[in-house]
C-alpha cells in the first residue's frame, strides 16, 4: 500500500523529490466528501475559485484527472478513488498524531465507518456490530444511518468501510461492490397480550382485518410480508407505516396494532416492548448483508462481525457466505 503512496509523493526519482501539497490534498478530500466545490468551500471557509484552482494544481502535480463532470455533479475518476482512499487514511493518521501530541492515549483505536440502512432493525444492527467492540485491539466505531442508495454512494468514494443492509447492492449500482451474506432470520408477528389472545388462535387466517403496523414500502421486509399476506389470502388493516422500525415497535408497545419483527430477536422484543408472539410467518426469511468494495473481508472488525453473525447470531443457512459481486 505504502509503496503506491510513495509513487504518488515522489517524482521520477529521488533526486527530484516532488512532494504533495497537503493543502491541495485536503481541498480535494473535502470536495470528494461533500460532493461539490460549493459545499466544500462552505466547510473550508474559502472561495469556490480558490478550491477549483487548487484542485487543478493537484491534478497537474499528480498527472491525473481526479474528477469528471457528469451533468452538474463532480464524480471521482478511477484514480480519484485511489487518491481519496490514501487521503482519507493520511488525515485519519494526522488526527491520531494530534491526539498523541496533546497527551491522548498512545495507539489510537482503529476506525471502522459503518453505514446502516434505515430498514435494518436497531437491535439487529447492534447485535451485528457488537463483536467489533470486543476485539483485543480497540476499534473506534462510527455509525451512519441513511437510505440504502445513499450509503452505497458513500461506499463508492470510500467514505465508509461497509454497509449493513437488508438487501444486496443491486446489479445496476455504479460501484464495484460485493455482497457478503451475514445470515437469515424468520419473521414473527408481535402484539400486546390482548392481540395475542384474540389473533393467536387460528393464526394466520385469524389476522383478517386485524390492525397492523408495517415497515415502509421501500424495505425488503415489507415486500416479503405483503407477499406472505397475499399467499395466505389475508387482508389486514394497515394502521401506520414506518421507515424507523424502532418507532414502529414503540407504537406496537402502545397497543396501536401488531407488528413484524425478526424471529431471532423474539426474546429481546418481548422483554423490551412488553408484547407477545402472536405467530410466525412460515417459510419467510429476511436476509442481512455486509456490502464492501472488497471481495475478501480484510478489516479485523468486519471479519469478526461476519463470523459472529454466521456462527452465533443467525442459524446456519443453505446460502453461500461467499461474496457476490454486485456487477
Pick from 11-20, 129-138, 200-209: least confident: 11-20
Band of the pLDDT at 38, cuts 50, 70, 90?
confident
Give me the percent of the chain exceeding a pLDDT of 90: 38
- Average pLDDT estimate for 117-138: 90
Whether the Cβ atoms of residue 255 and residue 192 lie closer than 8 Å to each other? yes
**pLDDT tens digits, one per residue of 66-111:** 998 887 778 888 888 888 888 877 877 776 666 556 555 555 677 8
> Higher pLDDT residue, 219 or 110?
219
- Could you tell me the fold of the domain covering 116-327? D-Maltodextrin-Binding Protein; domain 2 (3.40.190)
State yes or no: pLDDT of 230 exceeds 70.
yes
CATH of domain 2-100: 1.10.10.10
Whether the Cβ atoms of residue 132 and residue 304 lie closer than 8 Å to each other? yes
CA 33 to chain centre: 16
Q: Which is it for the CA torsion 244, 249, 255, 258, positive or negative? A: positive
- Average pLDDT estimate for 18-32: 82
State yes or no: pLDDT of 7 exceeds 90.
no
Band of the pLDDT at 326, cuts 50, 70, 90?
low
pTM greater than 0.85 (yes/no): no
Asked if 2-100 and 116-327 have one fold, the answer is no
- Average pLDDT estimate for 28-36: 86
Pick from 24-38, 189-203, 258-272: least confident: 24-38
**How far is CA 88 from each of CA 101, 160, 244, 266, rounded to the nearest angstrom?**
20, 10, 31, 40
Distance, CA of 76 to CA of 63 (rounded, Å)? 15
Domain segments of the chain: what residues?
2-100, 116-327
**Beta bridge partners of residue 179, listed in sequence order:** 291, 324
Distance, CA of 206 to CA of 9 (rounded, Å)? 69
Amino acid at each position: 500500500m505504502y509503496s503506491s503512496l510513495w509513487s504518488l509523493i515522489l517524482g521520477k526519482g529521488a533526486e527530484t523529490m516532488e512532494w504533495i501539497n497537503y493543502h491541495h490534498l485536503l481541498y480535494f478530500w473535502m470536495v470528494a466528501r461533500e460532493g461539490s466545490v460549493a459545499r466544500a468551500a462552505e466547510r473550508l471557509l474559502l472561495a469556490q475559485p480558490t478550491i477549483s484552482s487548487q484542485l487543478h494544481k493537484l491534478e497537474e502535480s499528480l498527472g491525473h484527472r481526479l474528477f469528471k463532470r457528469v451533468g452538474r455533479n463532480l464524480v471521482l475518476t478511477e484514480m480519484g478513488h485511489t487518491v481519496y482512499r490514501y487521503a482519507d487514511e493520511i488525515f485519519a493518521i494526522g488526527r491520531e498524531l494530534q491526539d498523541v501530541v496533546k497527551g491522548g492515549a498512545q495507539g489510537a483505536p482503529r476506525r471502522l465507518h459503518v453505514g446502516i440502512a434505515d430498514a435494518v432493525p436497531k437491535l439487529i444492527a447492534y447485535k451485528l456490530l457488537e463483536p467489533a467492540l470486543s476485539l483485543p485491539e480497540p476499534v473506534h466505531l462510527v455509525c451512519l444511518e441513511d437510505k440504502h442508495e445513499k450509503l452505497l454512494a458513500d461506499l463508492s468514494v470510500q467514505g465508509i468501510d461497509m454497509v449493513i443492509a437488508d438487501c444486496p447492492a443491486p446489479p445496476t449500482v455504479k460501484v464495484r461492490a460485493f455482497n457478503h451474506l451475514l445470515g437469515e432470520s424468520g419473521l414473527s408477528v408481535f402484539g400486546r397480550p390482548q392481540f395475542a389472545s384474540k389473533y393467536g388462535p387460528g393464526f394466520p387466517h385469524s389476522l383478517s382485518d386485524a390492525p397492523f403496523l408495517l415497515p415502509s414500502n421501500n424495505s425488503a421486509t415489507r415486500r416479503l410480508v405483503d407477499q406472505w399476506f397475499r399467499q395466505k389470502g389475508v387482508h389486514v388493516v394497515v394502521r401506520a407505516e414506518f421507515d424507523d422500525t424502532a418507532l414502529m415497535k414503540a407504537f406496537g408497545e402502545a397497543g396501536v396494532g401488531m407488528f413484524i419483527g425478526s424471529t431471532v430477536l423474539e426474546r429481546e422484543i418481548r422483554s423490551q416492548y412488553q408484547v407477545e408472539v402472536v405467530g410466525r410467518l412460515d417459510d419467510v426469511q429476511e436476509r442481512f448483508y455486509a456490502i464492501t468494495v472488497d471481495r475478501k473481508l480484510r478489516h479485523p472488525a468486519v471479519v469478526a462481525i461476519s463470523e459472529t453473525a454466521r456462527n452465533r447470531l443467525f442459524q446456519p443457512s443453505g446460502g453461500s457466505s461467499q461474496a457476490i459481486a454486485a456487477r
